Amino acid sequence: MGQVTVRVNGYSHTIGCKDGEEQHVLDLVAQIEEKVRVIRAMGGQFSEARMLLHVALLLADEAADLRAELARLRAGGAAADPELADRLNRIAERIEGLAQAVHRA
């Protein structure tokens, strides 16, 4: 089992993952850190838990948008490009899983 140490909002965390998925975890953490920067730019002071809640909400919102777009494509044009619909579905599932993991943290 692989492990990667990441830094989110200034705090280090060791994350377990399947061997070979370390870079994928780092890429996901980079997305989380980007959301942290967005929230910090809004101003105000947030506890760690509240910061991660806001990050999870932003990611969940993106997942909802992707699911809505996927539903639209399936209803109207997905038959023309099933690979795109499948890819959007996988992306939405990843974002949703990430949002749930952040919410549990």
Give the pLDDT of the chain (105 residues) as one tens digit per residue. 899 999 998 899 999 999 999 999 999 999 999 999 999 998 878 888 898 899 999 999 999 999 998 888 778 754 566 777 788 888 888 888 777 776 666
pTM of the model: 0.67
Q: Which residues contact residue 15 at a Cβ distance below 8 angstroms, ignoring those fewer than 6 apart?
A: 3, 4, 5, 6, 25, 29
Q: What is the tally of structural domains in the chain?
A: 1
Domain with 43 in it: 2-104
Which residues on adjacent β-strands are paired with residue 17?
A: 2
